[in-house]
Amino acid sequence: MKNKITRLEETHPLTWRIRDDEKTVWIKEYCNKNGYVAFKKTLHQRTSKDVIDLVKESDLKGRGGAGFSTGLKWSLMPDYIHDKKEHRYLLCNADEMEPGTYKDRLLIEQLPHQLIEGILLSAFAIKATRGYIFLRGEYVKGEHILKRAIQEAINFGYIGKNILNSGFNFDLFLHTGAGRYICGEETALINSLEGRRANPRFKPPFPAIFGLWGKPTCVNNVETLSNVPSIILHGSHWYKTLSYSSDTGTKLMGFSGNVNNPGVWELPFGISAREILEDYAFGMKPGLSLKAWQPGGAGTDFLTPKHLDLSMDFNTISKAGSRLGTALSMAVDNKTNMVSLVYNIEKFFARESCGLCTPCRDGLPWIVKILYSLKNKEGQSHDIKNLEQLCFSLGPGKTFCAHAPGAIEPLQSAIKYFRSEFEDGISIKKSNLNKNIIGIQPNQSNLNI
């Protein structure tokens, strides 16, 4: 790699400012650590197009799980403003409700001003005049921290009217959600923010054209926005050199489960899952071995130990049959029953369904009911076949949004790799009884009416 970078600031752009005591970095300390430098320079030296082009060149992908190009998403916002008094919005998705994921919480609680600077730069790029941080309601500590940080930024003149005499106006507000997983879907988030039921919207029109209160709107994840200041400050070429793969930059990755050192770390794309598990999470706890793992949250397909040497990037994990998702992996030990584990996961997803479409509303509770029977060794011979059919019926393109397709990923992969554990849940007595009942049904053609 040319021009090898050694400074912590330039190798760990997301986390280098974090204090050793893990206390919040407030605005004075943040400014002493190159904070708001990128924003100040941008206001007076760059245009909105310059910022969008730079982020496009960096190939920054969304860090919420989908991995869509951030610069491309920004460019979908209409460039022309019909009425200068009309608002357009930037929404920060901080509704981190994916089980096993806690990366955004780290950035919110320890580096709130890095997020705010990222929001300001992004708002400048898309010409937004108002922004909202949609925060998970359970993040009470994060709420207090963000409220103080926003007020600090206002006091320093970084939020408000005619910011730093640049002519750029931007107001930022904090909104805490009521606690719904579906708000991770951007149009459901918009509906919730408007005071409506958190259901996904029909698309088109897309939020870039018709979003919050019918105005152009862009929604980005906390980690995505937190990457923007360093890209603007150090450039797109530098950002690309941080990665070991075609996905650029660094990513907050980690492992949870029965590992010796569960946590989250800023690592380059392309690092192997084995390196994260062994070198950072220090392997499985004594007496346990790895049975399976999910690469990026509860809504991703299980992989096995043979996949540990795969590169942690979007394309590689996708080719292996799963998704990188949030890159916060969960380790499953050899003493965990997969049916019981999947039952807990599906119970969560069934509860969090918005109920808008039939496959998701009725299909997920049906899956939970079948898994409950298998978990208690009361399953029937056709249960596994029914689960496989439900996985097909709830797959991509068959439901209104991606909630159900994500929910069935752990189930379909668990059946694929651990089918015998599902078969162990079938009751021989019940299966035989079911056959007998079917066998004595009268023949419809022989009935005397």
The b-or-e profile of 175-203 (16+ CB within 10 A means b, else e) is bbbeebbbbbbbbbbbbbbeeeebbbbee
What pLDDT, on a 0 to 100 scale, did the predictor assign at position 429?
59
* Residue 65, pLDDT score: 81
CA atoms within 13 A on the CB side of 129: 14
Using alpha carbons only, what angle is made at residue 131 by residues 231 and 96, rounded to the nearest 5 degrees?
75
Q: Helix (H, G, I), strand (E, B), or coil: what is residue 162? A: coil
pLDDT at 103: 96
DSSP-derived pairing of the beta strands 328-333 and 250-257: parallel
Q: Are 60 and 51 in contact (CB under 8 A)?
A: no
Q: What is the per-residue pLDDT for 433?
A: 54
Q: Which of 328, 345, 323 is nearest to 277 (CA)?
A: 328
Q: 98, 192 in Cβ contact below 8 A?
A: no
- Pick one of 3.40.50.300, 3.30.70.2860, 3.40.50.11540, 3.30.390.30 as the CATH number of 8-241: 3.40.50.11540
Cβ contacts of 148 within 8 Å, gap of 6 or more: 26, 112
Which CATH code of 3.10.20.600, 3.40.30.10, 3.30.530.20, 3.40.50.300 fits the domain covering 253-333? 3.10.20.600
Task: List Cα–Cα distances, 415 to 302, 344, 351, 385, 423, in angstroms.
Answer: 10, 15, 22, 10, 10
Pairing status of strand 290-294 against strand 263-268: unpaired
Q: Where are the alpha helices (DSSP H) in 235-282?
A: 236-241, 273-275
Long-range contacts of 237-241 (CB under 8 A, 24+ apart): 238/5, 238/10, 239/13, 239/58, 239/60, 240/58, 240/59, 241/1, 241/2, 241/3, 241/5
Which amino acid does the sequence have at 397? Answer: G
Residue 9's pLDDT is what? 81
Q: What is the mean pLDDT of each run of 10 residues along the chain (449 residues)?
A: 56 95 97 96 95 96 90 91 81 94 96 98 97 96 98 98 95 92 93 94 93 96 97 95 94 97 97 97 98 96 97 96 96 98 97 93 97 96 96 94 95 98 85 52 38
Q: What are the structural domain ranges in the chain?
A: 8-241, 253-333, 338-429
Question: pTM for the whole thing?
Answer: 0.91
Report the alpha-carbon distance of residue 322 to residue 131 in Å, rounded. 33
Smallest Cα–Cα separation from 17: which of 112, 120, 102, 96?
Answer: 112
Distance (Å) of CA 12 to CA 26, 257, 407: 19, 25, 33
Question: Residue 339 and residue 433: Cα distance in Å, rounded?
Answer: 23
pLDDT of residue 80: 74
Asked if 260 and 285 count as a contact pair (C-beta separation under 8 A), the reply is yes
CATH code assigned to 338-429? 1.20.1440.230
Q: How far is CA 147 from each of CA 221, 246, 251, 328, rounded to the nearest angstrom?
A: 18, 37, 26, 27
Strands 290-294 and 328-333: antiparallel
pLDDT reported for residue 356? 92
d(CA 118, CA 148): 17
CB count in 10 Å sphere of residue 318: 14
Query: Which pLDDT belongs to residue 1?
Result: 33
How distant is the alpha carbon of residue 352 from its chain centre? 15
